[in-house]
Structure 1
Amino acid sequence: MTTVKSSSIGYPRIGEKREWKKALEKFWKGASTEAELLAETKALRLDGLRKQQEKGIDLIPVGDFSLYDHVLDTSIMFGVVPERFLTTDEESALETYFAVARGSKNAIASEMTKWFNTNYHYIVPELNEITPILKENRPLAFYKEAKEELGIEGKPVLLGPATFLKLGKGYAEEDFSILLKKFLPLYIQVLQELQEAGVQWVQVDEPIFGKSLTKEDISLIRQVYVAINEAVPGIKLILQTYFETVDCYEELVNFPVAAIGLDFVHGDTLPLLSQYGFPENKVLAAGVIDGRNVWRADLEKKLGLLEAIQLYVDKERIIVQPSCSLQHVPVTKRSEETLNPILQDALSFADEKLEEVVALVKGLQGGEEQIATELKASKQSIDNLNSSKYRQSPVSENGAEQLSANRSLPFSERIIEQREVLQLPLLPTTTIGSLPQTAEVRQQRSKWRKGDITGGEYEQFIQHEIKKWIEIQEEIGLDVLVHGEFERTDMVEYFGEKLNGFEVTKFGWVQSYGSRCVKPPLICGDVSFDKPMTIKESVYAQSLTEKKVKGMLTGPVTILNWSFVRDGIPRFDVLNQIALALRHEIEELEKNNITVIQVDEPALREGLPLSRDKWEDYLHAAVYSFKLATASVQNSTQIHTHMCYSDFKDIFDAISGLDADVISIETSRSHGDLISTFEANTYDKEIGLGVYDIHSPRVPSKEEIKGNIDRALKTIPANQFWINPDCGLKTRQEPETIAALQLMVEAAKEVREEQLVKQG
């Protein structure tokens, strides 16, 4: 009988109830030892492997687990550690590892940015003037562990050389070939040692092929794989791509590797097989189960897709797998007992997706009769959802077309009105929105949700926190204040709980960065405004001070990109539904005299398709939805927005096109890189480039903050520049937050005086 293999590309590392996060944070607080941390995380790692083994996965990934980030793991493995961390007094290699990611008292953390078009963040390798060396064969250690502990003949996972280097910084583009030559012997050594240990299959992740590469790059990368094949001819490599259709398909499928992994969910890969075929001497690892969304697969359609693939690839040369690592979805839906049964049945998290993969292998192997039960259950769950209340309250599709998506005056004219009303000093100071959420805040929210305290008692507690922090902000001397968002669990989930068309899970966590996990809400129906969501807290905060308090909302693009979005209708239609709902809320804020309103879009750049051919449509839709949400306010009302770590030069025109009066950008770890974008382009609105990094548990010096301000002012006129931290302060401790903000305000005042003297 023909054998079809099943495979997993990667498994969530965080545990069903975020046990990984808790273990990490306990260690960082000094409440556990290094040995205890490693023991706890090993147990989690083995549990994930065991589950994949029990579900019948043939090729189980090993080495995809991480204590922080898999790109950082690769840097450490190859000795790519910035010199500033080698001169610190860290006590162990693990302390150095975390210092690179989080910073230390002696060194600023390495830059962090988005992993392609996902909400996962990686630590950017610093590749300037390095001499790489293999410090530890990490995939080999995990392979041996899986084999010795569980008897699993695992598939080691290795971040490929092209992707690793393309994701790095600190070198000129023309030096890419030089770096490839430096790292090639190390990759060969890793693979030789794996082969000597008896490894059969190795997954080499090269998602960079989902982006547009030059012909020269493709040629250079091919030479690397030719050299690897010559040096380690006996090992079977799966060159794994994901997140997008491969532009250079013809060249890639002829690389000298045993298998090519392609994404058949995101992008349009099947026509490439039809047009160009597939080599007869290679295996196709077909990513047919969506690794980035949580809806149950229509197994009949997926089986049809695999049968279509068989027209070009023999059955015995197909591996069935998810489209990408399952780290982008929650672990299991079995804990979601509180969800509506119809909705719960329609979900598929990581564990369930593996079951879908195994079912498809059986179907491909023996036909539909082999999985008749699974096919029936799949169809029934989808039909039940489509006929449920979630899909029976359609929003008017004409709503957006009847409304203006443009402010009534251009920025150059309305900023005059705003400055007259706001009366802010030169270089005004503010924060991004959230303030520290202490253990007490989380405990009180938990008590309220469990019914241990009343809604009135919880509201009183929230007001106490708002009042306390309004007073702190006034004492520090900030110019524009925030209410602190103490009532919010998460900047997207909070709105998901209040808008029609959403549901929220209890344990649907995914990793965002480090130990930070988020719980994306489910967009399961048409989205619409129900009732005011932020008015009560904003109005209360504004009543406590003469200074302006910002209304705080999450923007439509970010709500879309950080949710699990319904299938069946175009994503841009869902986007406009969200924008219309937010427009209602913004108008309510303005009616209640909240006239500085921040609509955050940290995920705008993240959602940019990897293929440049799709950029224009996406950016047009993103800009339109933001303007649709914000355009109805008075000219004197000031609209702010905020964005996170990204390569902003790619979307500079779109940032300006949002027509926000003020934009703040998270940039302190890559301050110089971002400012160079503004040196090369003229930006005519107001802007705040984050002047210190909030993701590191350290208080910056005043000199460090002033240095960042001064660098920005060489490019951005002082009357356009705001001073703020680079992101929200929710995850920081109160003492460090207060200390850092005090230094920020002091630095701002000193630079302000210097600027006023210059201006005469």
Structure 2
Amino acid sequence: MIRTLGYGLPRLGPRREYKGLLEGFWGGSLSPQAFLQGLEELEGLRLTAYRQGVDLYPTGELSLYDPMLDLAVALGLYPVAPGDLEGYYALARGKGALPLRKWFGTNYHYLVPRLPERPHYRPQPGWFPYPVGREADSGEGLPTLMGPYTLVRLAQNPPTSPREVKAHLQALGEAYAELLRGAWGRPVLLQEPALILDGAEEDLPHLLEVYRLLGAQAPLVLLTYYLPLRPRVAEALAGLPLRGLGLVFEPGAPLPRVPAGTALVLGVVEGLSVWRTDLLPLRGALGPLVEAGQEVWLAPKAPLHHLPWGVAEPLPPELAGRLAFAGERLRELALLKGLLLGEAQGEAQAWYTPPSPWDRGLPPPPPPRPPREVRRQAQRELSLPPFPTTTIGSFPQTKELRSLRKRLHTGDLDQAAYWEKIQEAIRENIRLQEELGLDVLVHGEPERSDMVEFFAERLEGFYTTAKGFVLSYGSRVWRPPILFAPPRRREPLVLRETLFAQSLTPKPVKAILTGPITLAAWSYLPQGVGFGEAVLALAEALGEEVREVAAHGLRVVQVDEPALLEKLPLRAEDHAGYLALVGEAFSRVVGGLGPGVQVHLHLCYSDYAALRPFLETMDPDVVSLEGARQEGEFLEALAGVTCELGPGAFDVHSPLEAPVEEILARLQTYLRHLPAEGLWVNPDCGLKTRRPEEALTNLRNMVRAAQRLRERWGSS
């Protein structure tokens, strides 16, 4: 038997309905009842798309904010009653909100729960299987839930000993068993991406015990994705009495033998790439399995929420007929099923076009920067005070700025008039920062729609869609550009705006570029081109811009790499190669700069325990990083690094005010782990998502806290 399974269809919806619902509710224009009804209608739309495209699909998949937060409240980790929207969203964006981290090497941010110190869970069945979606469910879908092992591995405080792992998994098994009693005998899609991680083999005895317990409550479809399982893990799971076992399929690699009645759920089409799948070779690889009588469910290799729902716009000749987004992936699954049944031969042949050639030549990297002490001495000419204050780069993106860009793109505004308006915005941003008393200024990025899209529009080799939106977290979306040819600078990237800003003030202004790791990570890369190849090509183009910036006398350069640790390979054997890639890429961007140019690196939402070797290899002068949602102890992992650090002074993703005393207390906590001469004062991240009054209030409080800190340390 051959069936198709779709999962992860973007909860954003085809027209960003999810974003509108969340922001309408948060902004007060939607009542709780209207908000929930809107979510029900969106879930109905999603389920209709599943029913039209595939045989099997999840139900109850639409999260109120994030599936890991849903899981945390369903297990009673936080006392939020079903239906308590205020309590739920406080954990996502209020005071004491949970930290954000990147999800399995992607740009999706999940909220990181904390496990109880003693393994005890209080399940709340009202949160499963219906956070939302009760009205839309016809009883045909598979209730879905993130699995216990993924919770244990991705928590803020994962257990560190085999004994603790066993205790938590046993307690979670009992809690999950109580939740699954609400599945009414349907197969349950239990998503366990953490089974691909290092360490899963050691935890197998406890995992098998949990899955046997849960299988007694409901038929389990155990779904893994992103990477193939380790052979030992796959073989052990294959011995369980499951309804289905989900694996990433590798043609030619052996598959585990499963008992009668267990389907092999094979990830065969892409979920992280937009290029169409070559289906004909898959027919040859899967045909013998089907002929032998094995039940097979064809599925994506990753949740489809990493792709836009669809892109209904004319595409350039290089891309026309070559792309597949989330909706098209469902069609691919149906096409492949037809091929395996002896149908759709002609349609499958016409579906795929081979990739274009890629020019792989690169010049040698520039020479390394001078030693740190030489740089530190030269940078004293910046005349910065102790605890220097700055921002990460972006200022609030107002409706007026968004309207300006829209008018430019539609032709209602010419380039000269647009530049005049951008100059006005930059002039106001500089005035505001000088009034606040910030030390290192930014131009505020009023011209940038997105930190990746903006650069893609100024580099050859990229295509940016008009409405190909993907959800990053909460209601935040971005449009991943499509890299289809070697990138080249079409025009200056940041020079004009930064030079204009610097002409308005004697204080140093940062020239801010998105780094090559992040540009590659948050774009769809060419088919057949490795991540490393794309990164180095992008680094070369950025390096040309940085050297021109320095030649024009700008003294501070910031490279934004929020995806740096996001792209740290999931398996340890690949870490050394990635570290070498990062070092070469950063060298191609900033290598050759004189000692007086201060190089900043910005990071956010990462597990900083892994950061030290990257800082030592990249050797920036200053590093700003997210910290406001974490305990200050996270800095212990960076104790003794030679670069200066700016952990976040306030949380930019909360609309609430951070009072002076709160910021000061946070900075004093940082000083328990960092030397005073090495601490910068800055927000967690950019201020793009905040309203102007929110940003102004917290920046003013941040500057006052820094002034108080200077007074206490005897300097002003």
TM category (shorter chain) comes to over 0.9
1:193 aligns with 182
1:403 aligns with 365
What CA RMSD, in Å, does the superposition of the two structures yield over aligned residues?
2.2
Q: Does 1:59 align with 2:60?
A: no
Q: In the aligned structure 2, how far is the partner of 1:180 from the partner of 1:672? A: 29
Equivalent residue of 2:47, what SS?
A: helix
Q: In the aligned structure 2, how far is the partner of 1:315 from the partner of 1:332? A: 35
Query: Deviation of residue 108 (structure 1)?
Result: 2.1
Query: Deviation of residue 435 (structure 1)?
Result: 0.6
- Is the Cα–Cα contact under 8 Å of residues 365 and 587 in structure 2 kept in the other structure? no
CA deviation vs aligned residue, 1:714-747 (integer Å, no higher than 9, x gap)? 2211111111101010000111111111111111
Q: In the aligned structure 1, how far is the partner of 2:278 from the partner of 2:228? A: 21
- Is the Cα–Cα contact under 8 Å of residues 329 and 349 in structure 1 kept in the other structure? yes
Query: Deviation of residue 272 (structure 1)?
Result: 4.4
- Is the Cα–Cα contact under 8 Å of residues 50 and 150 in structure 1 kept in the other structure? no
Work out which of the residue numbers 118, 121, 141 in structure 1 matches 2:106.
118
Cα 1:656–1:486 shift into 2, 3 Å: same
1:96 aligns with 87
Equivalent residue of 1:357, what SS?
A: helix
1:157 aligns with 144
**Residues 268-667 of structure 1 mapped to structure 2, 5 A cutoff:** 270-273=252-255, 282-307=262-287, 314-333=292-311, 335-337=312-314, 339-366=315-342, 370-379=343-352, 382-383=353-354, 386=356, 391=357, 395=359, 397-399=361-363, 402-404=364-366, 406-407=368-369, 409-419=370-380, 421-667=381-627
Cα 1:651–1:422 shift into 2, 3 Å: same
Q: In the aligned structure 2, how far is the partner of 1:166 from the partner of 1:150? A: 31
- Is the Cα–Cα contact under 8 Å of residues 602 and 625 in structure 2 kept in the other structure? yes
Query: Deviation of residue 48 (structure 1)?
Result: 1.1
Q: In the aligned structure 2, how far is the partner of 1:134 from the partner of 1:570? A: 44
Q: In the aligned structure 1, how far is the partner of 2:132 from the partner of 2:522? A: 33
Work out which of the residue numbers 39, 42, 56 in structure 2 matches 1:41.
39
**Structure 1 unaligned blocks of 5 or more:** none
Percentage identity across aligned positions?
36
- Is the Cα–Cα contact under 8 Å of residues 214 and 220 in structure 2 kept in the other structure? no
Cα 1:429–1:361 shift into 2, 3 Å: same
- Is the Cα–Cα contact under 8 Å of residues 6 and 58 in structure 1 kept in the other structure? yes
- Is the Cα–Cα contact under 8 Å of residues 262 and 269 in structure 1 kept in the other structure? no
CA deviation vs aligned residue, 1:512-549 (integer Å, no higher than 9, x gap)? 01000111100111112222111111111000000000
2:204 maps to a residue whose letter is I
Q: In the aligned structure 2, how far is the partner of 1:237 from the partner of 1:525? A: 44
- Is the Cα–Cα contact under 8 Å of residues 414 and 635 in structure 1 kept in the other structure? yes
2:71 aligns with 74
1:403 maps to a residue whose letter is P
Query: Deviation of residue 444 (structure 1)?
Result: 1.4
Equivalent residue of 2:418, what SS?
A: helix
2:156 aligns with 169
- Is the Cα–Cα contact under 8 Å of residues 263 and 269 in structure 1 kept in the other structure? no
Q: In the aligned structure 2, how far is the partner of 1:128 from the partner of 1:439? A: 43
2:643 maps to a residue whose letter is K
- Is the Cα–Cα contact under 8 Å of residues 61 and 156 in structure 1 kept in the other structure? yes
2:280 maps to a residue whose letter is E
2:228 aligns with 245
Q: In the aligned structure 2, how far is the partner of 1:657 from the partner of 1:7? A: 43
Query: Deviation of residue 398 (structure 1)?
Result: 3.5
Tell me which moved more, 576-585 or 642-651: 642-651
- Is the Cα–Cα contact under 8 Å of residues 241 and 262 in structure 2 kept in the other structure? no
Q: In the aligned structure 1, how far is the partner of 2:258 from the partner of 2:584? A: 40
2:189 aligns with 203
Q: In the aligned structure 2, how far is the partner of 1:467 from the partner of 1:655? A: 34
Q: Does 1:127 align with 2:115?
A: yes
2:661 maps to a residue whose letter is E
Cα 1:673–1:358 shift into 2, 3 Å: farther
Tell me which moved more, 201-210 or 296-305: 296-305
Query: Deviation of residue 349 (structure 1)?
Result: 0.3
- Is the Cα–Cα contact under 8 Å of residues 207 and 241 in structure 1 kept in the other structure? yes
2:6 aligns with 8
Cα 1:270–1:80 shift into 2, 3 Å: farther
Query: Deviation of residue 166 (structure 1)?
Result: 2.0
Query: Deviation of residue 216 (structure 1)?
Result: 4.3
1:292 maps to a residue whose letter is L
Query: Deviation of residue 459 (structure 1)?
Result: 1.1
- Is the Cα–Cα contact under 8 Å of residues 4 and 315 in structure 1 kept in the other structure? no
CA deviation vs aligned residue, 1:105-134 (integer Å, no higher than 9, x gap)? xx3211111112111011111223575323
Equivalent residue of 1:639, what SS?
A: strand
Q: How many residues align?
A: 711
Query: Deviation of residue 396 (structure 1)?
Result: 5.7
Per the normalisation by structure 2, the TM-score is 0.95
Q: In the aligned structure 2, how far is the partner of 1:68 from the partner of 1:138? A: 13
CA deviation vs aligned residue, 1:466-485 (integer Å, no higher than 9, x gap)? 11110110011000000001
Query: Deviation of residue 327 (structure 1)?
Result: 0.6
Per the normalisation by structure 1, the TM-score is 0.90
Cα 1:140–1:214 shift into 2, 3 Å: closer
**Residues 706-725 of structure 1 mapped to structure 2, 5 A cutoff:** 706-725=664-683
Query: Deviation of residue 215 (structure 1)?
Result: 4.6
Tell me which moved more, 242-251 or 721-730: 242-251
1:693 maps to a residue whose letter is D
Cα 1:588–1:223 shift into 2, 3 Å: same
Query: Deviation of residue 239 (structure 1)?
Result: 1.0
- Is the Cα–Cα contact under 8 Å of residues 396 and 691 in structure 2 kept in the other structure? yes
1:254 aligns with 239
- Is the Cα–Cα contact under 8 Å of residues 124 and 179 in structure 2 kept in the other structure? no
Query: Deviation of residue 713 (structure 1)?
Result: 1.3
- Is the Cα–Cα contact under 8 Å of residues 270 and 302 in structure 2 kept in the other structure? yes
- Is the Cα–Cα contact under 8 Å of residues 394 and 444 in structure 2 kept in the other structure? yes
Equivalent residue of 1:594, what SS?
A: coil
Equivalent residue of 2:348, what SS?
A: helix
Work out which of the residue numbers 694, 697, 703 in structure 2 matches 1:736.
694
Query: Deviation of residue 687 (structure 1)?
Result: 1.2
Cα 1:139–1:357 shift into 2, 3 Å: farther
- Is the Cα–Cα contact under 8 Å of residues 143 and 153 in structure 1 kept in the other structure? no
Query: Deviation of residue 173 (structure 1)?
Result: 2.5
Query: Deviation of residue 217 (structure 1)?
Result: 2.0
2:197 maps to a residue whose letter is K
Q: In the aligned structure 2, how far is the partner of 1:531 from the partner of 1:418? A: 29
Cα 1:698–1:308 shift into 2, 3 Å: farther
- Is the Cα–Cα contact under 8 Å of residues 600 and 643 in structure 1 kept in the other structure? yes
1:479 maps to a residue whose letter is D
1:413 maps to a residue whose letter is V
